[in-house]
């Protein structure tokens, strides 16, 4: 599987299928490409906030592909949305999506109106036998240990920017609980307030969790797992 960071919480997972996660491209100052350049077989959206739903609806229309998200948000999106909920696993296009809790809020702005859109979530995505945990926007919570024990993710994508999510200190604790093989920091540097440092995060993880590899990417960069 090839994992590419598009800045913020947006990733592409390329294996037997192409999975796009939280494709916030338009309005993202760090996005390395245009939303119209993106191809996908499935899009996963962790919650309705604009920096996560992003261009999902437009990309879904252009590629005629499903959007996997929490039930309430799926009702708002309508066509092409596959609603699910926390604790469940949905098989979509041959890829397994397990929805995990996230300690965060969620609404969505549709046609200038802000409406409630279920709660925020994360995903464990399994494709070609590789499991990737995208934590979504979240604070640290002790049940991350359960996510680690149940799904044994190969890769964890973890917010470290602070202000709206965990900062480096809490994110390093999250890695200690999840115990992935590889961790990639995300949700930092996009805007001035999400200033959490990936280098500080890396130092803390290497200190607390020897054996976990920290992969720091620049927007547009990828790695193979």
- Chain residues binding Ni ion by CB under 5 A are 49, 137
22 binds Mn ion (CB under 5 A): no
174/209 with CB nearer Ni ion: 174
22/126 with CB nearer Ni ion: 22
The binder of 22, among Mn ion, Ni ion, none, by C-beta within 5 to 8 A per type, is none
49/131 with CB nearer Ni ion: 49
Single residue of 14, 41, 55, 137 touching Mn ion by CB under 5 A: 137
Site string for Mn ion, 40-59 (x = CB under 5 A): -----------x--------
The binder of 126, among Ni ion, Mn ion, none, by C-beta within 5 to 8 A per type, is none
Least Å distance between CB 164 and Mn ion?
5
Least Å distance between CB 129 and Mn ion?
29
4/190 with CB nearer Ni ion: 190
Pick the piece of the chain touching Mn ion (CB under 5 A) from 71-79, 114-122, 132-140, 150-158.
Answer: 132-140
* DSSP codes joined into one string, the chain: -EEEE-STT-EEEESSSEEEES---TT-TT-SS-GGG---SEEE-S-SSHHHHTTHHHHHHHHT--EEEEHHHHHHH-TTEEEE-TT-EEEETTEEEEEEE-SS--EEEETTEEEE----EEEEEEETTEEEEE--S----TTHHHHHHHH--SEEEEE---SSS--HHHHHHHHHHH--SEEEEES-SSSTT----HHHHHHHHHHH-TTPEE----TT-EEE-
């Amino acid at each position: 599987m090839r994992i590419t960071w598009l800045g913020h919480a947006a990733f592409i997972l390329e294996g037997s299928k192409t999975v796009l996660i939280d494709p916030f491209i338009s309005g993202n100052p760090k996005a390395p490409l245009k939303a119209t350049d993106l191809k996908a077989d499935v899009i996963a959206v962790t919650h309705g906030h604009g920096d996560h739903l992003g261009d999902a609806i437009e990309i879904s229309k252009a590629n005629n592909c499903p959007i996997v998200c929490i039930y309430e948000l799926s009702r708002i999106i309508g066509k092409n949305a596959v609603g699910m909920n926390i604790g469940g696993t949905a098989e979509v296009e041959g890829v397994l999506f397990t929805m995990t809790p996230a300690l965060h809020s969620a609404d969505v702005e549709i046609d200038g109106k802000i409406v409630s859109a279920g709660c925020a979530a994360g995903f464990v995505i399994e494709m070609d036998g590789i499991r990737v945990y995208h934590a979504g926007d979240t604070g640290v919570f002790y049940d991350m240990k359960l996510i680690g024990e149940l799904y044994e993710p190969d890769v964890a994508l973890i917010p470290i920017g602070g202000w709206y999510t965990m900062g480096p200190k809490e994110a390093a604790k999250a890695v200690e609980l999840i115990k992935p093989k590889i961790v990639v920091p995300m949700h930092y540097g996009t805007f001035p307030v999400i200033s959490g440092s990936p280098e500080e995060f890396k130092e803390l993880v290497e200190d607390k969790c020897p054996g976990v590899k920290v992969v720091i990417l620049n927007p547009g960069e990828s790695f193979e797992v």
